[in-house]
Structure 1
Amino acid sequence: MTDAMTNAPRKIIIDTDPGQDDAMAILLALASPEEIEVLGITAVAGNVPLALTEVNARKICELAGKPQVKVFAGCDRPLDRALVTAEHVHGQSGLDGPVLPDPTMPLQAQHAVDFIIETLRDAPSGSVTLCALGPLTNLAMALRKAPDIAARIREIVLMGGAYFEVGNITPAAEFNIYVDPHAADIVFKSGIPLVVMSLDVTHKALVTKPRNDAFRAIGNAVGIAAAQMTEFFERFDREKYGSEGAPLHDPCVTAYLIAPQIFTGRHINVEIETKSELTLGMTVADWWGVTDRAPNAMFMGTIDADAYFALLTERLARL
């Protein structure tokens, strides 16, 4: 989706904890300069600790041939609890599968939270979209430190939460929200327009063998690495869900910016559970409108998976 008035690419900051599926989301954005201008990538602790996520973000930029992209390291732990990571899914590096060289591009000296605040204050109000692929710690810290930026953000598009698909890290909670539910609570109460790519959507976007073969058949370094990444984390999910492939979660965020028509959802109220031991991190989505709580999120429910994978394959071929 480009800005209709100017046809200019949409300016975004990608907040991420790479992660193979994060990598795919970043590659899609970097391959789509007509629709998306990546102002910077901010790393957060999540799938693996921060020391790995910031390195992984730079590896992905170099894989894409985009070493000029600025990468910033952010928060190394959630706001109010110990860090939970997901090496059991993503491997010890977070990017297991392909062998990617150590990055030569620098990590920026500025803290990710300060970069987010400064960028939003310097840009025209309503011109920057935040794309959150991991726990929402960096975004919540920015809002806590500089409440004035909330009114300046065009939209937050995030991968997180679940309703009909329930949880993937606990019976009730999706991983990104569970890692830092207090940060998610701040973001969901911020009044900023939210688009939520929940497990209800991403579990309909499965990397089947033909779709993975299509990545490999691209034949470039990106396509081959993409196939190796999706094959790696697919093993875990196929065993867990008994499905024909693994959900490719995070690229739903960047795909939405390019082709919003492939998703459908409802504008509903979503609250984050922060106090219960049983359901901590649950996204309580009022899908059926049974409360009088004001809608605060476009909560996506379906995806045209064939169109999604066609878009990914077409764009990765450009890099």
Structure 2
Amino acid sequence: MRAAHRVILDTDIGTDVDDAMALSQLFGLAEVDLVGITTVYGDTLLRARLARRLARLAGREVPVHAGRRDPLSGREVWWAGHEGALYEDLERESIEPTDAVAFLVERVVANPGEIDVVAIGPLTNVAEAIAADPRFAGAVRHLWVMGGAFTTDEPEHNFRSDTHAAEVVFASGIPMTVTGLEATRQVEIRRDELARIGAAGELGAMLVAEIEQWWRFWNEEWNVPHDPVTVLTMVEPGLFEFSPTGRIEVELNGDDAGRSRFVTGDGSACIVTGLDGPTVAARVVDAIERAGIAAAVEAAP
């Protein structure tokens, strides 16, 4: 039976652990056929190799394409410094020679109305794909975005990192669902969840190491799985509440750069307005656990 969603994941994996969690979650979702991974923002080759390594730990063969390093806005890339530190011999991980934007355009345009794009980093690759081929925007089945903050004045990282790309994407007419901070922050991963994740084979053990690295970086004992929450809006929309359709506006420059607001009415976007935090957290961990256990069973002699 064909999966309900054929997906390309566009990610800045390697900094916040939630990207690695979202990728692992996708491997555990029967509803998803992950047809490709594209990386964005900063050292995208390193990010691509990280994605390839996690795919191998999950026992999966998925094409991975490195994408745009520099934001269209010209803003300096924020780099935590721990990206890739937990992995040995990453340079041995092979990725596809085609760049991410070319892959996005080729795959989406060749399969109009069939590919969901899940964008959980700055929107540079998606904006470049829109500019590269006028058919791209109309061919995307749905765009699922992690970004923004719609009930506060807080600039959110993904939008702030490339405001110009966000402007292009939100003017494109692509049907999209956007999950902002006011939604994702209702979900937390704490020590209790780590026991389940860590028991899920090599993939689970690596995720626990990544999660604990992120906790040390912030001197915290918990984290918000922003990106896995966004993935779940696609596969289990019944767990969420959504706004009517409207448009998203983002401040482009100055001290307010990255601040976003949602205006109901004309537009192709909706935003997440409500969810059940504990249930969503449990579903995220369930999928990661399935992915890790399935890989461990497959690898067993």
Same fold (TM over 0.5): yes
CA RMSD of aligned residues (A): 2.1
The Cα offsets for residues 49-104 of structure 1, whole Å up to 9 and x where unpaired, read as: 223212221122122121x21000111101131332140xxxx24255x5465264
* Corresponding residue of 2:128: 141
Q: Is the 8 A contact 1:197 1:299 kept in 2?
A: yes
The Cα offsets for residues 103-140 of structure 1, whole Å up to 9 and x where unpaired, read as: 644211111111111111211x2111110010100000
SS of structure 1 residue aligned to 2:136:
helix
The Cα offsets for residues 253-294 of structure 1, whole Å up to 9 and x where unpaired, read as: 22222211122221333111113x1211111223xx5xxx52
Report the CA distance between 1:219 and its aligned residue: 4.2
Residues of 2 paired with 1:262 and 1:233: CA distance? Answer: 27
Which of 94, 104, 109 is the matching residue for 2:83? 94
Structure 1 unaligned blocks of 5 or more: 1-5, 168-172
* Corresponding residue of 1:12: 7
* Corresponding residue of 1:206: 188
TM-score, scaled relative to structure 1: 0.83
Amino acid at match of 2:104: I
* Corresponding residue of 1:65: 59
Amino acid at match of 2:43: P
In structure 2, relative to structure 1, the CA distance for the partners of 1:233 and 1:156 (3 Å cut) is same
Residues of 1 paired with 2:153 and 2:159: CA distance? Answer: 12
Amino acid at match of 2:197: F
In structure 2, relative to structure 1, the CA distance for the partners of 1:206 and 1:86 (3 Å cut) is farther
Which of 82, 101, 106 is the matching residue for 1:113? 101
Amino acid at match of 1:110: T
Report the CA distance between 1:212 and its aligned residue: 2.5
Are 1:35 and 2:16 matched, yes or no?
no
Structure 2 unaligned blocks of 5 or more: 293-301
Q: Is the 8 A contact 2:240 2:272 kept in 1?
A: yes
Q: Is the 8 A contact 2:10 2:40 kept in 1?
A: yes
* Corresponding residue of 2:232: 255
Report the CA distance between 1:166 and its aligned residue: 4.1
* Corresponding residue of 2:21: 24
* Corresponding residue of 1:129: 116
Are 1:305 and 2:277 matched, yes or no?
yes
Identity of aligned residues (%): 28
Residues of 2 paired with 1:300 and 1:95: CA distance? Answer: 32
In structure 2, relative to structure 1, the CA distance for the partners of 1:103 and 1:10 (3 Å cut) is farther
Residues of 1 paired with 2:19 and 2:55: CA distance? Answer: 12
Report the CA distance between 1:245 and its aligned residue: 2.5
Residues of 1 paired with 2:160 and 2:190: CA distance? Answer: 27
Residues of 1 paired with 2:153 and 2:54: CA distance? Answer: 30
Residues of 2 paired with 1:302 and 1:95: CA distance? Answer: 34
* Corresponding residue of 1:170: none
Report which of the two has the higher share of helix.
Answer: 2
Residues of 2 paired with 1:317 and 1:76: CA distance? Answer: 32
Are 1:44 and 2:31 matched, yes or no?
no
Amino acid at match of 1:25: A
Amino acid at match of 2:22: A
SS of structure 2 residue aligned to 1:315:
helix
The residue correspondences of 1:208-247 to structure 2 (distance < 5 A) are: 208-216=190-198, 218-237=199-218, 245-247=222-224
Report the CA distance between 1:237 and its aligned residue: 4.8
Amino acid at match of 1:247: V
Paired positions, count? 288
